[in-house]
Amino acid sequence: MRSTYKNNAIALAALAALYSTVALASPSEAPDSEWTTETLVNSRANMFYPDLNHLTFQSLSKMFATRVVEASPTPWTLEKAPMEIDGTFMLEGEEVPLEAFLEGTKTNALLVLKDGKIAYERYRNGLDEATPHAVFSVSKSILATLVGFAIEDGSIASLDDKVVDYVPALAGSGYEDVSILDVLRMRSGVDWEEVYEFGGTTQLTEVHDNALVAYRYRWCDYAATSSERQYEPGERFNYSTLDTSVLGCVLEGAVGMTVANYMTENLWQPAGMEFDAYWIMDGPESVGNEFYGAGFNATLRDLGRFGLMMLNQGEANGVQVLSEDWVEASTVSDPGYERISADASIGYQYQWWTFPDRKAYSAIGIYNQFVYIDPQSQTVIVKLSHTPDAQGWEDDTLAFFEKISHLTP
């Protein structure tokens, strides 16, 4: 998949002209601020600009309408057992020390949890422990966890149910005969090209610009009106933010409340999360949905707590929050699904990336966002970053995590 940022006067002028008549909601954290259409369009269109994304990824609540996921009144206290991270790590074919690796991969924050305790914690580029950071497609793994709650409480009867059972508007679309399991596995068969050329003309960019930049329509509106079948459901893997968007709309339809509220009640507060988190939305409060595929923002430690809950088979702060069965089902590859293709070195289960040669698994977002979990070494690693391109250094970063997981405090 290609990854490019095209920022030029022509592209921005075209966006501004296209959306100059659109009524945009002010960001929810600044209800008394006056925002012009041009300012919001330009800021959202430029959220990935490489020289500033170290700041924008910490500030999306100032640019988008949001829905808050409320913190727990009794936060989960994390103990500390510090360790040194010595040695060198491979980056672009060269062995470099930790500091060079962090800078080379444009790291905003790094957290290492060993045996349930903070072994290493580092903040950079103005980020602090109380500020939520964008995690992009890590959101997919978090959303899949919420689907687990809906299965457990009976809101979703079965993963074999069709998505149209919960989102009737998808009838007649490319998602007509697609099951919830198909979208969990990114095997809907719906035609979708996940190419990150923000400011360009790709399919993903078209929906990004219309749904997130301009609030012209929602992601699930596009799925209902414009999606087409390319393959039979379940036939092959195709990474698709549209699939996760449909999964989020299924969840909302099943539970009868916003995903943010459902997450507050079932995950964020029961697991003892310390700070409010939030989802950016694909429209103002009255019409928009949470951007299920890549719109979640949370603090470094709370992302670590989420990883610990998964590592501990659904237990958080001494409470069984999520069922053990769902943790295993969503993170351990089913037979025949160990790899996304015959020649691939990675697999994909229920919105989690898996590794055929080890028990570790990871949530991964563009611009080098990770929640990495290794049950064998009892390690959780969270990395938040601001790389110049949407993709790059994933292999080096995963090798970095694997090496750190073998270190001991």
Query: What's the average model confidence in pLDDT over 179-187?
Result: 98
CB 14 within 8 A of CB 200: no
Q: Give the mean pLDDT of 210-224.
A: 94
Task: Give residue 104's domain range.
Answer: 64-134+146-155+258-409
pLDDT band for position 1 (cuts 50, 70, 90)? very low
Domain membership flag for residue 358: yes
Q: Are the beta carbons of 293 and 244 closer than 8 angstroms?
A: yes
Q: What does DSSP assign to residue 168? A: G
Range scoring the smallest mean pLDDT among 13-17, 108-112, 306-310: 13-17
Burial class of residue 316, CB neighbours in 10 A (0-12, 13-18, 19+) = buried
- pLDDT at residue 373 tops 50: yes
pLDDT at position 406 over 60: yes
Residue 163 scores a pLDDT above 60: yes
At 251 the three-state DSSP class reads: helix
Distance of CA 305 to the CA centre of its chain: 16
Q: 117-142 burial string, b = 16+ CB within 10 Å, else e?
A: bbbbbbbbeebeeebbbbbbbbbbbb
Position 339 in a domain? yes
What residues does 297 pair with on adjacent strands? 134, 278
The answer as to whether 8 is a domain residue is no
- State whether residue 60 is helix, strand or coil: helix
CA angle 45-244-316, nearest 5°? 105
Does residue 327 have a pLDDT over 70?
A: yes
Angle of helix 241-255 versus helix 138-152 axis, rounded to 10: 30
Which pLDDT value is given to residue 286?
81
Q: Does residue 160 belong to any structural domain of this protein?
A: no
Q: Residue 392 carries which side chain, given as an amino acid letter? A: G
Work out the burial of residue 21: count CB atoms within 10 Å of its CB; fewer than 13 is exposed, 13-18 middle, 19 or more buried: exposed
Question: Looking at 10-19, 47-56, 388-397, which range is the least confident one?
Answer: 10-19
Q: What mean pLDDT is predicted for residues 91-98?
A: 97
Asked if residue 200 has pLDDT above 90, the reply is: no
CATH of the domain at 321: 3.40.710.10
Q: What is the pLDDT of residues 251-264, one digit of tens each?
A: 999 999 999 999 99
pLDDT level of residue 151 (50, 70, 90 thresholds): very high
- What is the dihedral angle through the alpha carbons of 401, 402, 405, 407, rounded to the nearest 10 degrees? -100
| 349 pLDDT above the threshold of 80 | yes
Q: What is the mean pLDDT of residues 192-199?
A: 90
- Give the sheet arrangement for strand 277-280, strand by strand: 66-69, 277-280, 296-298, 133-134
Burial class (CB in 10 A: 0-12, 13-18, 19+), 190: buried
Tokens 């691939």, residue located: 344
Query: What's residue 18's pLDDT?
Result: 42
Residue 20 lies in a domain: no
CA distance 248 to 103: 35
What is the number of other CB atoms lying within 10 angstroms of the CB of residue 82?
12
What's the pLDDT tens digit per position in 226-282? 999 999 999 999 999 999 999 999 999 999 999 999 999 999 999 999 999 999 999
Which helix (H) or strand (E) is 109 found in, with range? strand 107-114
Place of tokens 């237990």: 315
Give the pLDDT band of residue 34 (cuts 50, 70, 90). Answer: low
Locate all alpha helices (DSSP H) within 121-258, ordered by sequence: 138-152, 180-184, 203-207, 219-226, 241-255
What is the band of 27 on the pLDDT scale with cuts at 50, 70, 90?
A: low
To the nearest whole percent, how much of the chain has pLDDT over 70?
91
pLDDT per residue over 119-139, tens digit each? 999 999 999 999 999 999 999
Predicted confidence at residue 33, as pLDDT, reads 61
Kindly report the average pLDDT of the chain as a whole number: 92
Q: What's the per-residue H, E or C state across 204-236?
A: HHHHHHHHHHCCCCCHHHHHHHHCCECCCCCCC
| pLDDT for the residue numbered 35 | 65
**Structural domain tally of the chain?**
1
Report the distance separating Cα 324 and Cα 312, nearest Å: 9
CB atoms within 10 A of CB 268: 26
- Does any domain span residue 9? no
Q: Is residue 73 one of the residues assigned to a domain?
A: yes
Residue 117 included in any domain: yes
